[in-house]
A and B are shown apart, each in its own frame.
Chain A
Amino acid sequence: MTKLGAGVPDSIQGSVVRRGDLVFRRLAKGAGLAVLVVLAAIAGFLVWRSVPGLRANTANFLTSTAWFPDQSPSRFGIAAIAFGTVVTAALALLIAVPIGFGVALFIAFYAPPKLATALGFIVDLLAAVPSIIFGLWGLQVLMPHLGGLQRWLNDHLGFIPIFHNSLGIYTKSLFVAAVVLGVMVLPTVSAISREIFLKVPHSNVEAALALGATRWETMRMAVLPFSRPGMISAAMLGLGRALGETIAVALILSALNVVNWHVTEPGGNTFAANIALGWNEAGPIGLSALIASGLVLFVLTLVVNVVARSIIWRRAEFHEGL
């Protein structure tokens, strides 16, 4: 009997290892391992290089606001920069997330097709603008214009501690840095969440409309629940960018290591800006101290991501096979 092409196998017995499968499996496993190894290597490097500084430190590393690692005795702590980092990143997200989601919803569901394309293009473009540009723009253009808003906040909402300003100076504040960060993160959040919204099955949107849902009810019923994991991811990527942003913050803040709840007053500092500004003048202990602060930032972002993941997985049953 002649066989055409490969034909049927002579027997279905025997297990064959197919080369393509094998190569792919090894590649996938290798890539996965490589990521873990790189992460572990970074963590290991950070720990190893922070030990000398932490040994020399005579202040409490977690609660001290001082940053004088190269003096003797060496004194430094992350309280102020951790405070500045968390406050600016949180405020930035508070600004960027609602507006970013709103813009994305508008592009995905409300805007007429031509406008949607144009807006989407602009948002993508903004997301790719380097942070130094945002920093310069924030310093030159935004900061002078934010004085009025901050004064208004003090005059009308000054009873809320974070808006109180007893100096009457409204430049170089954590608030200004947070707004610039917010503007910077906004296109990132918006670009990603728009992609997420566009993935919502059209059939579910129609199902909601056919039930007599208004546009907004359709968003709440079919769009937002479906997009929730992606929206959290978009916010987390924005948060990551805000937490780690160096140059824009360094340009704007007058680096002052204080914990000051009056966020519209000048001063404050962040992990990334502190490292960028301090690196060149630092001695050996100073470098080690900066690396120790980098380790904390590393752990902070890790924790943020784990928390985000666990929120996403909580209702995994409802997102299987989507």
Chain B
Amino acid sequence: MAKRIDITNVSSYYGKFEAVSDVSLRIEPNAVTAFIGPSGCGKSTLLRTLNRMHEVVPGTSVTGEILLDGENIYDDTVDPVNVRRTIGMVFQRPNPFPTMSIYENVAAGIRLDARRMPKSELDGLVERSLQAANLWNEVKDRLKKPGASLSGGQQQRLCIARAIAVEPAVLLMDEPCSSLDPISTLAIEDLIDELKNNYTIVIVTHNMQQAARVSDTTAFFNLAGIGQPGRLIESAPTALIFSTPGQKATEDYISGRFG
């Protein structure tokens, strides 16, 4: 079940350094939200703040409020482990577990669940996840091979299969195509389009065309200068932001990139 995320006055810190400042934003379910902006403006930091991966880095902190369907994920009573099971993540570089087979990679998250799943049920779930990630046909004959034996684009789709196998409500993707060739990139963009039927998707991208192609809403971030925190400049339906941006900075950034 896709869930809505409400971000209110969120700031993220590395030690004393404020990387993201005072962001308020609503992320709609069953839609793709793209984060764009120059490098260093805190897109990845904000994304990692959404599933409490930010606090994995020592010395970090977060202020503000993030509601997942009305429930504050930073509440004292909330277990970050459960937040991460509900909000899955795909990273910039494909990172399948090198010691696991393709099958084991997909099953990794499911096996964390305390309840034991019968083999046949697990087989079915692995197959469905790989199918949802558009990878099944390519790997169905070599499920026992190492995940690392796949090409970069296949590895990234394997990571997507791994993330959706646990049936999260939200899928966060941090520049998932930046290390991939154009064909793999298109495959993943098609996939994102399908996945939004079941998930809330947030994607960070430095590629304007990609944001324009895959997202329903685009949020533009910027920073005033080196050492300054990143801020949300504006957020609007993607069609609107690319045709008639509300802010000068957004227009400059978009037109600069489109040439």
A residues engaging B (CB < 8 A)?
Answer: 112-113, 201, 203-204, 206-214, 217, 221-222, 225-226, 228, 315, 317-322
Contact indicator B98/A203 (Cβ below 8 Å): no
List the one stretch of B78-86, B130-138, B239-247 in contact with chain A.
Answer: B78-86
Q: Are A226 and B99 in touch, CB under 8 angstroms?
A: yes
Decide yes or no whether B95 CB sits under 8 A from chain A: yes
On whether the beta carbons of A211 and B88 are closer than 8 Å, the reply is yes
With A112-B58, A206-B91, A317-B146 already in contact, the answer to whether A212 and B82 are too (CB < 8 A) is: yes
Say yes or no: is B253 at the interface (Cβ < 8 Å to chain A). no
B95: chain A residues within 8 A (beta carbon): 201, 203-204, 206-207
Among B82, B97, B166, contact of A204 (Cβ-Cβ < 8 Å)? B97
Additional 16 contacts, C-beta under 8 A, given A214-B81, A226-B97: A112-B58, A203-B95, A204-B95, A204-B98, A207-B95, A207-B159, A207-B162, A210-B89, A211-B88, A211-B112, A212-B84, A212-B85, A212-B86, A212-B166, A226-B98, A318-B146
> How far apart are the CA atoms of A63 and B88 in the complex, in Å?
62
Contact: A209 with B112, CB < 8 Å?
Answer: no
**Partner of A209 from B56, B86, B98, B100 at Cβ < 8 Å:** B56
The verdict on A213 contacting B99 (CB below 8 Å), with A206-B53, A206-B91 known, is: no
Pick the contact of A113: B58, B98, B146, B163 (CB < 8 A): B58
User: Does B40 lie at the interface of the complex (its beta carbon under 8 Å from any beta carbon of A)?
Assistant: no
Task: Name B56's contact: one of A206, A226, A320 (CB within 8 Å).
Answer: A206
B residues engaging A (CB < 8 A)?
Answer: 51, 53, 56, 58, 81-82, 84-86, 88-89, 91, 93, 95-101, 108-109, 112, 145-146, 148, 159, 162-163, 166
- Which chain A residue has the least Cβ–Cβ distance from B101? A318
Contacts of B146 in A (CB 8 A): 317-318, 320
Q: Known interface pairs A206-B53, A222-B97, A225-B100. Does A211 touch B109 (Cβ–Cβ under 8 Å)?
A: yes
Main secondary structure of the interface of B (DSSP, over half): mixed
Name the B residues within 8 Å of A204 (CB-CB): 95, 97-98
The CB with the most chain A CB atoms within 10 A, among B86, B89, B163, B166, is that of B89
Chain A interface helix/strand/loop/mixed? helix
B235 to chain A, nearest CB (A): 24
Taken together as a complex, chains A and B put the C-alpha atoms of A209 and B91 apart, in Å, by 12
Q: What residue of chain B has the Cβ atom nearest to residue A228's Cβ? A: B99
Least distance between A59 CB and chain B CB atoms (Å): 50
A111 to chain B, nearest CB (A): 11
Question: What's the Cα separation between A113 and B57 when bound, in Å?
Answer: 12
Instruction: Find the residue from A203, A211, A226, A321 having the highest chain B CB count within 10 A.
Output: A211
A217 CA / B89 CA spacing, docked (Å): 17
Residues of B within 8 A of A208 (CB): 97, 108
Given contacts A210-B53, A321-B148, contact A217 B112 (CB under 8 A): yes
Question: What separation, in Å, do the CA atoms of A225 and B100 have in the docked complex?
Answer: 9
* Cβ contacts under 8 Å, A207 to chain B: 91, 95-97, 159, 162
A315 to B108, CA, bound (A): 18
**B217 CB to nearest chain A CB (Å):** 23
- Rank and list the top 5 A-B pairs by shortest CB-CB distance, nearest first: A212-B85, A225-B99, A203-B95, A210-B89, A211-B109
Which B-chain residue is minimally distant from A210 (CB atoms)?
A: B89
CB contacts (< 8 Å) of A228 on chain B: these are 99
Out of A113, A203, A322, which one reaches B91, CB within 8 Å? Answer: A203
Query: CB-nearest residue of chain A relative to B147?
Result: A318
With the chains together, A212 CA to B84 CA distance in Å? Answer: 5
Q: How far is the CB of A113 from chain B (nearest CB, A)?
A: 7
Q: Which residues of A contact B99 (CB under 8 A)?
A: 225-226, 228, 315, 318-319
Query: What is the distance, in angstroms, from B84's C-beta to the closest C-beta of chain A?
Result: 4
Sampled A-B contacts (5; CB under 8 Å): A209-B56, A212-B81, A212-B112, A315-B99, A318-B98
